[in-house]
Structure 1
Amino acid sequence: MIKAKVWISRIVSFILLITLLFMLFIVISSKASGGEPTVFGYQLKTVLSGSMEPGIQTGSIIAIKPGGDMTRFEKGDVITFMESDDKLITHRITEVKGEGQKVQYITKGDNNDAADLNPVLPTNVVGEYKDFTVPYLGYFMNFAQSKEGATLLLILPGILLLLYSGFTIWKAIREIEDIKKEDTSNKQLT
């Protein structure tokens, strides 16, 4: 029974520490890249609409590979591009018009009835979707990127770790006191 408690205590401490380190990584990575975090050269983007459902659900995190020759894409590729100064869209290419630097991509969301109104120029392409999706994590990432979320997600695991450490120390002190009381009562009996 005591071994089980020790292992549970270690597991809880490890989970809290990993959570704190993960939150620290997410927040610092987000702030350093000026937006979504980058992991192993892939940018993590949050999907905020249902235009690519069911393949990419609203609230998902997707991985895109930025950079490279933005004129290389073909029909069927899924790209992330800038529609306006602050709006990214991830849609599938339905048609490629032109060649080289004069190429234009006609895109459409898998869940949309019609193609997008404006063709996408290679200069507006941010990266290519790489078939990596984590459903619903995008809601969490959006919250983590806000000032309130970043603060809460850095402070909360730290506070929980401190509280749990304090509880563990209090419990250990109480056990030591119980052992001392037993020793004292055993000495008085003899």
Structure 2
Amino acid sequence: MIIAVPKGRIYERFRRFLIMHNIYLYERDRTYMVYTSIKNMKIALVKSIDSYYLVNQGKADIGILGSDILSEYMIFSKPIHFRTLWFFQCGMFFIRKRVLRKSRRFTIATKYKNTVERHLINARVYKMRGSCEIINDLNIADYAVDIVETGKTLQANNLLGLNKIMDIRPVVFGKHRDLIDKFYRNIFA
């Protein structure tokens, strides 16, 4: 079984989760395939949306993504089976500069443009690829929508986290429910 997992925050939490359940990982520096102590279970480390593409193309059996990515790309509407994982949680928040400039139009910078536009009608949304914290220094927008886990980045960049739009959790998904169930049996057996 090949599991496509995004590098970074989700993999780090998933890694700790597996070790906590006595599943050992055989990692080598700068490799993208991680072997586990469970026979025939490998983890492919990929960019976040590539997890979905690899599962959809049959190159990975199951994948793990944050629910933020699933929402942004409307993957929930595709014929895929999902199950929420509970090894960590963060949130998608409206973020604002501590001092707002006068603006005639409500502007938002985010990498979650589709999600924001589904929730707001009267806003100008600027698509970013990340680092929405820079809005304060470059006067890009009045607000940002981004993922907040601890709030340390907001504090360091003189930003305020306002309303939570949604909780973000990792989700295991696949084309076949039996593969997701097999994954659960291997982890929680």
In the superposition, the TM-score normalised over structure 1's length comes to 0.21
Which structure would you say has the larger Rg? 1
Higher-strand-fraction structure:
2
Higher-helix-fraction structure:
1
Structure showing greater relative contact order (alpha-carbon pairs closer than 8 Å, 6 or more residues apart): 2
